[in-house]
Amino acid sequence: MKLKHYVLISLALIISGVSAQKPGKKEAFIDSLMNKMTLEEKIGQLTLFTSGWTTTGPSLKDDYKKDVISGRCGNIFNAHTVEYNRELQEMAVNESRLGIPLMFGYDVIHGYKTIFPIPLAEACSWDTEIIEKSARLAAKEATAAGLNWTFNPMVDISRDPRWGRVAEGAGEDPYLASLIAQAKVRGYQQDNLFSSQTMAACMKHFAAYGAPEAGRDYNTVNMSERRLRELFLPPFKAAVDEGVATVMTAFNELNGIPATGNEFLLKKILREEWDFDGMVVTDYTSINEMVPHGYARDEQHAGELALNAGVDMDMQGAVYYNHLKNSLEEGKVRMENINQSVRNVLSLKYDLGLFDDPYKYLDEEKEEEIVLSDELKKHALVSARESIVLLKNEKHKGSKLLPVKETPEKIALIGPLAHNRKDMTGTWWASADTASIVTVKGGLEKQYPDAKITTVFGCSTKGTGREGFDEAITAAENADLVIMAIGENRLQSGEAASRSDIDLPGQQKALLKAVHKTGKPIISVVMAGRPLTITWMDENIPAIIYAWHLGTRTGDVIADVISGEYNPSGKLVMTFPRNTGQIPIYYNAKNTGRPFDEDNKYTSKYLDVANEPLYPFGYGLSYSEFEYANLKLDKKQLDLGSEIHVSVEVENTGEYTGQEVVQLYLRDEVGSVTRPVKELKGFEKISLKPGEQRTVHFTIDPEDLKFWNADMKYTAEDGRFKVFVGTNSANVLESKFEYVAQ
Ligand code: BGC
């Protein structure tokens, strides 16, 4: 092994009494290393370039390998596989002057090669253990392929399904999203970055990226500090509390200041209030973008604004690379700040164990053994099962269509997603192994080997072509059961994939209508990266399964749900609007001074659509039925330092064993600032056999009542509170209590 320079540094450090990777020695190790570094080498550690394999933006540097050798690029992203990364690591270790190892980043968002459900789908499981395990296994697979840093979790709250990136987040609720953010950080990092099976996590996009005007990606964000703190910051804070190693700044401006040059976000909140001591990286060229934002005169100025605001590493923009030296010479930035950023980067490399063994993530045998292993594929099935949401299951000619227990003689499987591997990955397919993806057709054929399944494409997910309609109609006419596999392709959600009309794209709604005319029983399986406005479908199709984009095991899981082998249990984490005009629509809304009253014209409503969503937050059906009764509070007054115990009886009155997410919401009736009509404060996922009843318990303490009050203090105020417990945010039992601090 050609470890010349690396060995030299290590020897020098050992001789000077500094040994890498010994607890307590980190500071001394980094000091000693930094003493040897030139300014260019320091700036190199603050530089992250893409390998040119995959890009999510412009590729600015073709000669990144040269920069690795000269020490001017200390980190690479979008490079993976042991073979490829080993070659790069050898360059850094053997050919650069100081032999500082590279860190390798990648968007391992819902899997590396084995693909788990998109994050929005997985959030619908309300199961933080499963989510944590997905992150842990994704880390295991990705680290075996040479990676040690993932740009995840994406913890952006959003109330706007036009914004394509809702696919990557955990929905609209800050409480649930915070728990999920923590589960992911635990999964990737497991309190032990040093392990060769864990990787550094990166919470993103800091901050408020999920609130672009009109839902258009990268667009302007403007909101009050209260809204920011109440709604958008909690998942970030939760991830910091869980020890997330890195933070990515957002593309957007927030109240006139781009997030990448935003001292309020990066200094006051992140470092001062939250005490974050990790590393801050930009989003893809977001330093450069402060020029078109109209915040920086030119790139050099943008770099100064970023560094001075506390940005450590420049992703792909080459701004620090090209200009930071000049900025220092001109006195626009301080060496002390550059040093601090370098320290943050080296400290992460140290924690990852790269100074101990730069090749620890680069073991071909491990890659062979772990990537696409059964352990991952099995979990892809478990996690996808829990992600599916059953939206509707009503009778067609006297009986419910789902589950399909008896093998139908003839099934017509219709739609662009019926036998489609590629689009099943969803938005961040990373290095997905498309060949191993089970299609809906594949799953149904395995599930119903004796059925005659006719698969028809029907129409594309885009465009205007209707040539396939006749074939689809004929197939439906000849079948006993029609299954429609429709929705969005993988490019119709995610980054740079905002849509102004979120109905079924292309001609799919027309296709569905045409097939519906045959009068045949239809089950709609909708696969998409966002809530779609499926109002017509809801009014006309008896059974609707919302499957999102489920990844590697898609077909198996959809067949499990259709056949009843698995009883669906997912609950929506985003409100489904009836039409695009209702957006933004969310459950934790304010009451207004004129809440809707049908007898009074001058109340808050639309003339052409109801106020209620199509499906509320927390909604999702099961093949079982759950009845709620006897909501009880053990006392009617809560004092400071005490708790209220809430209990409710839940009974499975259906015929199938099933899981239910029991949800607890609170409403603060009067506040020094107005409070939402409901806020999620607890939930429990339980499993009940037919006829089984369980008492579910929750505890409320004053901490649950806190909010940012009129003086921007995070506190609980005395007064009346409502408690709601139920199967979703709209269907609840209700009780109340009073909070009296003293
Ligand atoms: C996205 C980030 C991503 C980065 C690196 C950007 O375009 O906004 O979420 O991590 O690219 O691929």
User: Which tens digits make up the pLDDT trace of 115-133?
Assistant: 999 999 999 999 999 999 9
Confidence of residue 588 (pLDDT cuts 50, 70, 90): very high
User: Which tens digits make up the pLDDT trace of 547-565?
Assistant: 999 999 999 999 999 999 9
pTM of the entire structure?
A: 0.96
Number of Cβ atoms within 10 Å of the Cβ of 9: 20
Distance (Å, whole) CA 574 – CA 215: 15
Supply the DSSP string of 80-117, one letter for each residue. -SHHHHHHHHHIIIIISSS-PPPEEEE--SSBSSSBPP
Distance 278 CA to ligand 1 centre (A): 19
User: Which tens digits make up the pLDDT trace of 191-230?
Assistant: 999 999 999 999 999 999 999 999 999 999 999 999 999 9
Q: Confirm or reject: Cβ of 284 under 6 Å from ligand 1.
A: yes
Q: What average pLDDT does the segment 473-484 reach? A: 98
Residue 29 pLDDT > 50, yes or no? yes
pLDDT at 15: 36
Residue 54 pLDDT > 70, yes or no? no
> Structure tokens of 105?
């980043």
pLDDT at 22: 58
User: Which tens digits make up the pLDDT trace of 294-306?
Assistant: 999 999 999 999 9
Q: Confirm or reject: Cβ of 429 under 6 Å from ligand 1.
A: no
CA angle 505, 430, 190 (to 5 degrees): 120
pLDDT at 614: 98
Distance (Å, whole) CA 483 – CA 419: 12
Residue nearest to atom 10 of ligand 1 (CA): 151
Give all domains of the chain, ordered by start, each with its CATH number.
Answer: 1-105+334-372 (no CATH), 386-582 (3.40.50.1700), 626-740 (2.60.40.10)
pLDDT at 6: 43
pLDDT at 8: 44
The answer to whether residue 283 is catalytic is: yes
Distance (Å, whole) CA 528 – CA 125: 16
Residue nearest to atom 8 of ligand 1 (CA): 283
Q: Confirm or reject: Cβ of 204 under 6 Å from ligand 1.
A: yes
Q: Of the residues 67, 283, 351, 668, which is catalytic? A: 283
Confidence of residue 7 (pLDDT cuts 50, 70, 90): very low
Q: Which helix (H) or strand (E) holds 736?
A: strand 732-740
**Is the C-alpha dihedral spanning 415, 416, 421, 422 positive or negative?**
negative
pLDDT at 3: 39
Q: What average pLDDT does the segment 532-539 reach? A: 98
User: What residues contact 206, with CB distance under 8 A and at least 6 apart?
Assistant: 236, 247, 248, 249, 250, 259, 265, 266, 270
In the predicted model, what is the mean pLDDT of the chain? 95
pLDDT at 21: 57
DSSP state of 567: -
Residue pointed to by tokens 């001609």: 507
Number of Cβ atoms within 10 Å of the Cβ of 243: 16
Q: Confirm or reject: Cβ of 56 under 6 Å from ligand 1.
A: yes
Pocket residue to mutate for ligand 1, from 51, 107, 109, most atoms within 8 A of Cβ: 107
pLDDT at 14: 39
Q: What average pLDDT does the segment 276-290 reach? A: 98
Residue 249 pLDDT > 70, yes or no? yes
pLDDT at 52: 72
Q: Confirm or reject: Cβ of 283 under 6 Å from ligand 1.
A: yes
Q: Is 32 helix (H, G, I), strand (E, B) or coil?
A: helix
User: Which tens digits make up the pLDDT trace of 500-510?
Assistant: 999 999 999 99
Q: What is the phi-psi region of residue 17: left when phi exceeds 0, alpha when psi lies from -120 to 50, beta otherwise?
A: left
Distance (Å, whole) CA 548 – CA 121: 6
Confidence of residue 62 (pLDDT cuts 50, 70, 90): low
DSSP state of 273: I
Q: Confirm or reject: Cβ of 506 under 6 Å from ligand 1.
A: no
Q: What average pLDDT does the segment 181-191 reach? A: 97
Strand ranges inside 605-678, DSSP E: 626-633, 637-639, 644-652, 658-668
Distance 102 CA to ligand 1 centre (A): 19
Residue 57 pLDDT > 90, yes or no? no
Q: What average pLDDT does the segment 74-94 reach? A: 96
